[in-house]
């Protein structure tokens, strides 16, 4: 796996942990780990193969180092797999909308059962109103150019 792919998995895990209203420090740790991995000058797989300590990488503690190793070896992250039993993976696509966070995305999903950007766009094109604050709805409409 490339650093970018590993970082994307950690970003996705952080997003879904946030949807689940998990401890904000845990969510932040996953986002920080993703950022650090993305910015590494070399491949994290090479660091692992060399037997180097991943905890020397900023933002990666003992627990996340083990998760990185598991991800590289097994090809999946257990916590993300578990979260994807609770939430449709397509919700992650909604995180592309600037200014809309996981809590707003969860409210849209929970209230309207909208699971993807496509469904969200279709919902708005039908002229239906979202059960979110007006500024958020405006940002969403702006994203879709509606």
Q: What are the pLDDT digits (tens) for 6-17?
A: 999 999 999 999
Cα–Cα dist 37/83, whole Å: 22
Assign 66 a pLDDT band (cuts: 50, 70, 90).
very high
Question: For 133-144, b where at least 16 C-beta lie within 10 A, e where not — what string?
Answer: eeebbebbeebe
Q: Do domains 3-85 and 88-144 have the same CATH topology?
A: yes
According to CATH, what is the number of the domain 88-144? 1.10.150
Query: What tokens appear for 91 in the block?
Result: 């919700």
Domain ranges (residues) in the chain:
3-85, 88-144
pLDDT at 134 > cutoff 80: no
Q: How many CA atoms lie within 13 A of 87 on its CB side?
A: 27
Smallest CA-to-CA distance from 143 within 113, 108, 32 is with 108
Whether the model clears a pTM of 0.85, i.e. scores above it, the answer is yes
> Which CATH architecture fits 3-85?
Orthogonal Bundle (1.10)
Residue entry with tokens 């709805």: 137
Whole-number pLDDT of residue 22:
87
What's the confidence (pLDDT) of residue 136? 84
């Amino acid at each position: 796996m490339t650093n970018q792919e590993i970082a994307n998995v950690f970003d996705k895990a952080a997003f879904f942990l946030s949807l689940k209203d998990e401890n904000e420090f845990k969510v932040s740790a996953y986002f920080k780990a993703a950022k650090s991995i993305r910015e590494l000058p070399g491949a994290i797989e090479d660091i692992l193969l060399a037997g180097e300590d991943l905890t020397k990488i900023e933002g990666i503690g003992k627990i996340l180092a083990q998760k990185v190793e598991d991800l590289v070896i097994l090809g999946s992250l257990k916590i993300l797999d578990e979260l994807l039993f609770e939430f449709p993976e397509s919700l992650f696509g909604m995180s592309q909308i600037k200014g809309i966070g996981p809590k707003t995305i969860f409210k849209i999903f929970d209230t309207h059962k909208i699971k993807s950007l496509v469904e969200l766009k279709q919902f708005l094109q039908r002229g239906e109103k979202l059960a979110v604050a007006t500024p958020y709805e405006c940002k969403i409409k702006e994203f879709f150019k509606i």
